[in-house]
Amino acid sequence: MLVDALPEPGGQVAALYPEKRIHDVAGHPAVRGRELIDRLVTQVEPFHPRFLLGRTAVSLEAEEGGSWVVRLEDGVPVRARAVVVAAGLGRAVPRTLPCLRPYHGRGVAHHVRRLEDHRDRDVVIVGGGDSAVDWALALIGVARSVTVVHRRAAFRAHEHSVKRMYASGVRVVTEAQVTACHGDGFLEEVRVRAADREFAISAQAVVGALGFITNLGPIAEWGLLMSNRLVLVDGAMRTNLPRVYAIGDICHYEGRVPLISVSFGEAATAANHAAVALRPGARLAPEHSTDIDDTFLS
């Protein structure tokens, strides 16, 4: 059973960058976020999971006999013998600029839901991280023009992506800030202030890729051992609570690398250890044909 506060499965990938190309999933040179989530849902369908979407888990309570009750905000209890916490960085609220707020939903957004929504538009992207650069590259050939405005000279994004952006024809304005938005009802242009000048850029869309403020919400009160808002786990992805595991960006152990591909491995590790905890004597690792004696096969 999967509980998610979002109205669709897929977490931050589905909500924040469904059109972004992801490059760290094994076997996929590049896969769009939406396509990856669709494939994962199809992969799990034969096992008939229940999806409780648009529902927030507010408490984790121990029951007699060793089971857990995850209680939802509407009071509904979800009983389980094992719980895996895969809450990412929690609820994310986008950072913004004061001048962008009046046009939110009228040309200003904080991520790109569909590339086609920006067909033949002049798009300004504000930010210097991976999302800003990736969206700029993705919009080439879709938008009429793409401009990236970043307040620093250097970008935080992956070096290879930054080089591609500079070579792509995207207009890059560094050491500058968007100071104002203008338009009659909907966005029409933005004002940009650089070190030595101020100028206007035609824009029917602004993507504010300025990062997010995250909040774990009720999970922080569940009694999980934490450090710097991350749940501490061991090599089996076990938390300090019996048969409660944590995986993905919400968990921490020495040497962890925050990649989607790493989280997939953590999910498999947690699932196999949970299975052994629920069925003592069960094998931790799946059995492979290469482990079987040849005489048995003959």
Binding residues for FAD: 4, 12, 17, 57, 249, 290
Tokens 């009802």: give the residue.
185
Q: What's the distance, CA 67 to chain centroid?
A: 30
- Token readout for 181 is 């938005």
DSSP tag of 200: E
DSSP tag of 6: S
**Nearest of 21, 273, 289 to residue 135 by alpha carbon:** 21
d(CA 220, CA 78) in angstroms, rounded, equals 19
Binding-site residues from annotation: 4, 12, 17, 57, 249, 290
Amino acid at 190: V
Contact indicator for 12, 44 with CB cutoff of 8 Å: no
Contact indicator for 175, 148 with CB cutoff of 8 Å: no
Q: What are phi and psi of 94, to 5 degrees?
A: -65, 140
Q: Which residues contact 65 (CB under 8 A, 6 or more apart)?
A: none
Return the SS3 of 192. strand
